[in-house]
Structure 1
Amino acid sequence: MEKIFDSVRELDKRAEDAFNLKNGVLMEHAACGMVERIRNLLSSRLLYPQNIQGRSRQNNALDLPSSHIKFPQAELPLVQIVCGSGDNGGDGYALARILADFCLVRVVLVKEPKSPLCKLQQDRLSLLGIPITDMLQEHCDVLVDAVFGTGIRGSLDSEMSALIERMNAVQGYKIACDIPSGLNEFGMPSPVAFRADETCTMGALKTALYADAAKDYTGAIHVCNLGLPRRCYEGETGTFLLSVEDMKLPHRSVQNTHKMSYGHGLFFCGEKTGACMLAASAALHFGIGLVTVFGEPVSAAPFDFMYTLQLPENFSAAMVGSGLGRNSDTQARALGFLSQEHVRELPLILDADILHNTKLPTLLSLFKAPILTPHPKEFQSLLANSGLAQVSVAEIQEHRFEYLRLFCGAFPQAVIVLKGAYPLIGCGNQVFVNPLGTNALAKAGAGDVLSGMITALAAQGYPSLEAAYTASLAHAEAAKLLYTSDYGLTASALAQATGRLK
């Protein structure tokens, strides 16, 4: 689990003041971090196209005055670095200077430096005689975007948009310095933005990199060290990046046991019985001891579940919403079920249609451990029905972290799993980001499977937050077990795959 920050400006300032890392020292270390990353990529030969063989400095470099420093003739990888006028451009100039030790470096000037550090780094580069040009080559081994940092506002102008389009068309491995140019401070892209294979972000992870819209632009995300341990650079935060190591699967270590040792999940079945069956199936595959389907009769029902029209006396968690439907009578029965005192004390997993009910927010404050799993449209209803915000889905997607924190602040006992390209799990003043999601999960029924998995863990005694983020991670990992294409996954196969995780 790693820390994520909305902004690192205060962290940079604290590093400069508390650790005396002033006068561009942080920038030098940022450049060194990118150099190390590029060196590792080159040494692993991951970036080498066939035509790198035979490339030499003399047939690729611009002509230099004889008074400037000469470099040995050698077969070198070509790295193009496109530099802007601010500190992001300064990072690029510093990177070029250090890379020149083992790469053919070509610096592309976008605009003359404006920030003092950018000007200083350009001056240092000029002393080495490394060429600076305004022409972008169509082929290289590595292309580095050091044009804009995290502070752009609005959309790029036509000139910058045209530049980014040319950069995107370059054949070569693309790396963004800190954040891809064209993404704003919230991670939302301009109509044109740089599409990186990976992003080297400086010092610490930023929430902008984990906006849903940013996922098509950042590629893999790596943190570059700024010359001091991250534990010293980073401060306090309430936002964290999950990893597969945070996933605690429901393995069984005790031999003398029985089905009720692993929980009894109640699934409230409404109009769309297939969705409820998917959720119940996922729960059974994910370790729950007993599943009971309560409510609407189910035709051709699997034999693995118990079925009843009478509410069982003992169950350890309940799921309401998957396939519930919008019928007023069915919704009223669901609310009546949720209103019972002994039910309110149990872990309750709420999904899909129940999340649109205008009366749900009033009940939420009475629940001991509710877990809600909305997609953005359902979350829009929750915000509106709670009286917290009347906003569009687009507005929610642009400010996912902010609206999730708003809702969690109003219902601190609840856990919210906000679905998306980067699922967010919120509870109280904390937000956790699941980076493992895949577009293969964009299928009907995948969300029902997730709700069933969460129910399984909650029924087995997992704390609500741990149940939510473990199931979210396992959901993505199960999809990988089935990954033969990005379009062929089915929810029923996904439910079965949850039982094959190690």
Structure 2
Amino acid sequence: MKKIYSDTRELDKAARSTFGLTEDIMMENAAAAMEKEISDYIKKCNGPFLSRPTVLVLCGGGNNGGDGYALARRLISHDVSVTVCEVLEAKSEMCILQKERAKKSGVHFISFYELDDFLTETSFDLKAVADCIFGSGFHGELPVQAKAVLDAVNKEKGLLKLACDIPSGIYFKADVTVTMGALKTQLFTDRSKDMCGKIKVADLGISRSSFENCPSVQPEAFLLEESDLVLPIREKQNVHKGTFGHTVIYSGEKTGASVIVGTAALNFGSGLVSLVDKTDGLENKNIPYELMTGKQLPENTTAVALGMGLGINNDCGNEYLETLIENKNIAAVLDADILSGEKFSEKLKELLYSRRGLDNLILTPHPKEFANMMKHLGLGEYEAADVVENKLECAKKFCSEFEGVTLILKGADVVIAQKNPSEENVRIYVNVFGTAALAKAGSGDVLGGFAAALLAQHKNSLGSAVHASLAHALASQKCSVNFSLTPFELISYLKQI
């Protein structure tokens, strides 16, 4: 896994102090990394050209703009035509210096008023655009002229679009983002997933590990990698089905959801799987033979999945929660209606407090469910959009209140979080491997089944959440037609990861 930082300015300062680097040296390395991306791309471009391959660099007034001016100056040495569009007046000391250097090197300059004419005149030769307007330090609304410029270049087709550090305002739609020194949290919001393209980290004169080696600056989160996945491979041979736990799914209004969860759990290693409904809801239903059914919780239950398809007004929901309160040794995954239904909020709160520090409870809400849950728990008023825009902060707030409870906050990029009572900060992981194929009814039920299966096999909640989420996301990548994925196909793709 890789470190993700909310702010790298202290890392910049530490690198300059420890290794004797100057701001100029670091900026030159940043420009060199972008230069390589653009020059490698242009080498692959086949003519004919009306003149020469053309590169447009959009520059802001801060150090991100300084990176852009340095990039333009370096690109002049290649057989390309380089133009800078000065979107905002140069203001920082390094930006002013790099602008003067670019001018003296023969870089062509235009104002943002001239951009439309430039794009028309160079439409045949323009092969790359570099967005160097704003970096990771920018917050708030984009200036009008910056937004207009980005609107114009976003419409351009058939060329490389490169972002410096992060896409400006997460508004520029990049093919590749060259981020400076270390990964930033802004690169991993749900909105960023469609805007950043391929993310590459540029070394700034020292190795990435040296840049990140600053004890006073802790990462905000960790980026999961494919190699972090640990599947529940069975190492021992002298075993039986009970060795691998008994997963129970409390069934409700939508029996199909329970069947999906149970099938996912069975396929992810649970030795036994049962569907339980205290009413007659499972009678005369077409339940797969390998899933057992009943009205009472089996004595050998090791993990429970609750909420999937339950119904927000289910009369048994609070009784099921009470069972989990009374049996703290039974691990559980909670999702959907049991989290967002106001009817269950008091018992849910009681359960959450009862499991503090036990590391055997996982919640898997999507943003709307999370917003409703936070409101019902008295932890704040949120809209789903607020959660989407501030997932890390929302996760930290919840996990700080309920230490030892693990949260899987779903979305384009999945956030997995837990506050270990023995650690100062909330530990957060980000899973970026999911695809649009998962935007389908039943996909979340599969995730819940995977997580419950690992809990049933006596794994801790944080590890279960991480590995279930990775398996879920990586399986989705095996679908070649992303609009056609069904829950049972998703489960079947486990065999290919």
Fold-level match, TM-score > 0.5? yes
Question: Aligned equivalents of 1:362 and 1:335: distance in 2?
Answer: 9
Aligned to 1:289: 271
Question: Aligned equivalents of 1:290 and 1:41: distance in 2?
Answer: 53
Aligned to 2:47: 53
Q: 408, 413, 426: which is aligned to 1:422?
A: 413
Per-residue Cα deviation, 1:47-74 (whole angstroms, up to 9, x for no partner): x3xxx32448xx24xxxxxxxxxxxxxx
Aligned to 1:151: 137
Question: Aligned equivalents of 2:79 and 2:182: distance in 1?
Answer: 27
Note if 1:446 corresponds to 2:446.
no
Tell me by how many angstroms 1:261 deviates: 2.3
Question: Aligned equivalents of 1:447 and 1:381: distance in 2?
Answer: 17
Q: Classify the secondary structure of the residue corresponding to 1:182.
A: helix
What fraction of aligned residue pairs are identical, expressed as a percent? 40
The question of whether the paired residues in 2 share the 8 Å contact of 1:3 and 1:237 is answered with: yes
Tell me by how many angstroms 1:434 deviates: 0.4
Tell me by how many angstroms 1:413 deviates: 0.7
Q: 176, 184, 191: which is aligned to 2:163?
A: 176
Note if 1:83 corresponds to 2:59.
yes
- Mapping for residues 366-385 of structure 1, pairs under 5 Å: 366-367=354-355, 368=358, 369-385=360-376
The question of whether the paired residues in 2 share the 8 Å contact of 1:83 and 1:107 is answered with: no
Tell me by how many angstroms 1:425 deviates: 0.1
Tell me by how many angstroms 1:492 deviates: 2.3
- The one-letter code matched in structure 2 to 1:100 is I
Question: Aligned equivalents of 2:296 and 2:103: distance in 1?
Answer: 81
CA RMSD across the alignment: 1.8
Q: 458, 463, 466: which is aligned to 1:461?
A: 458
Question: Aligned equivalents of 1:164 and 1:326: distance in 2?
Answer: 44
Aligned to 1:226: 204
Q: 465, 472, 486: which is aligned to 1:490?
A: 486
Aligned to 2:352: 364
Aligned to 2:221: 239
Q: Which segment is superposed worse, 33-42 or 21-30?
A: 33-42
Aligned to 2:72: 96
- The one-letter code matched in structure 1 to 2:57 is I
Per-residue Cα deviation, 1:65-115 (whole angstroms, up to 9, x for no partner): xxxxxxxxxxxx432212222211110111122233334141222233211
- Mapping for residues 47-446 of structure 1, pairs under 5 Å: 48=45, 52-55=46-49, 59-60=51-52, 77-110=53-86, 111-134=88-111, 135=115, 136-137=118-119, 138-139=123-124, 140-171=126-157, 172-183=159-170, 193-234=171-212, 235=214, 236-295=218-277, 296-298=281-283, 299-341=285-327, 344-356=328-340, 357-359=344-346, 360-367=348-355, 368=358, 369-428=360-419, 429-446=426-443
Aligned to 2:423: none
Q: 463, 477, 480: which is aligned to 2:477?
A: 480
Tell me by how many angstroms 1:400 deviates: 1.1
Q: Which segment is superposed worse, 151-160 or 241-250?
A: 151-160
Per-residue Cα deviation, 1:193-238 (whole angstroms, up to 9, x for no partner): 2111121111111111111122221112111111112222124224
Q: Classify the secondary structure of the residue corresponding to 1:288.
A: coil
Tell me by how many angstroms 1:182 deviates: 2.6
Consecutive unaligned residues of structure 2, counting only runs of 5 or more, are 420-425
- The one-letter code matched in structure 2 to 1:487 is F
Note if 1:8 corresponds to 2:8.
yes
- The one-letter code matched in structure 1 to 2:267 is H
Q: Classify the secondary structure of the residue corresponding to 2:472.
A: helix
Aligned to 2:422: none
- The one-letter code matched in structure 2 to 1:497 is Y
Tell me by how many angstroms 1:39 deviates: 4.1
Tell me by how many angstroms 1:242 deviates: 0.5
Aligned to 1:22: 22
The question of whether the paired residues in 2 share the 8 Å contact of 1:212 and 1:421 is answered with: yes
Question: Aligned equivalents of 1:204 and 1:382: distance in 2?
Answer: 34
Q: Classify the secondary structure of the residue corresponding to 2:21.
A: coil
TM-score w.r.t. length of structure 2: 0.89
The question of whether the paired residues in 2 share the 8 Å contact of 1:27 and 1:226 is answered with: yes
Tell me by how many angstroms 1:402 deviates: 0.6
Seen in structure 2, the aligned counterparts of structure 1 residues 152 and 297 have a Cα distance that, compared at 3 Å, is same
Q: Classify the secondary structure of the residue corresponding to 1:496.
A: helix
Seen in structure 2, the aligned counterparts of structure 1 residues 380 and 12 have a Cα distance that, compared at 3 Å, is same
Tell me by how many angstroms 1:477 deviates: 1.2
Question: Aligned equivalents of 1:283 and 1:476: distance in 2?
Answer: 16
Q: Classify the secondary structure of the residue corresponding to 1:133.
A: strand
- In the TM superposition, structure 1's runs of 4+ consecutive aligned residues that sit over 6 Å from their partners are none
Count of matched residue pairs: 465
The question of whether the paired residues in 2 share the 8 Å contact of 1:78 and 1:103 is answered with: no
The question of whether the paired residues in 2 share the 8 Å contact of 1:90 and 1:121 is answered with: yes
Question: Aligned equivalents of 1:374 and 1:202: distance in 2?
Answer: 33
Tell me by how many angstroms 1:447 deviates: 0.4
TM-score w.r.t. length of structure 1: 0.88
Consecutive unaligned residues of structure 1, counting only runs of 5 or more, are 61-76, 184-192
Tell me by how many angstroms 1:4 deviates: 0.5
Question: Aligned equivalents of 1:275 and 1:269: distance in 2?
Answer: 8
Note if 1:501 corresponds to 2:496.
yes
The question of whether the paired residues in 2 share the 8 Å contact of 1:199 and 1:221 is answered with: yes
Per-residue Cα deviation, 1:116-157 (whole angstroms, up to 9, x for no partner): 111111222222223223444335222111112233343234
Q: Which segment is superposed worse, 158-167 or 239-248?
A: 158-167
Tell me by how many angstroms 1:24 deviates: 1.6
Q: Which segment is superposed worse, 209-218 or 330-339?
A: 330-339
Seen in structure 2, the aligned counterparts of structure 1 residues 495 and 323 have a Cα distance that, compared at 3 Å, is same
Q: Which segment is superposed worse, 34-43 or 85-94?
A: 34-43
Seen in structure 2, the aligned counterparts of structure 1 residues 280 and 88 have a Cα distance that, compared at 3 Å, is same
The question of whether the paired residues in 2 share the 8 Å contact of 1:424 and 1:432 is answered with: yes
Question: Aligned equivalents of 1:112 and 1:388: distance in 2?
Answer: 43
The question of whether the paired residues in 2 share the 8 Å contact of 1:361 and 1:382 is answered with: no
Question: Aligned equivalents of 1:147 and 1:371: distance in 2?
Answer: 41
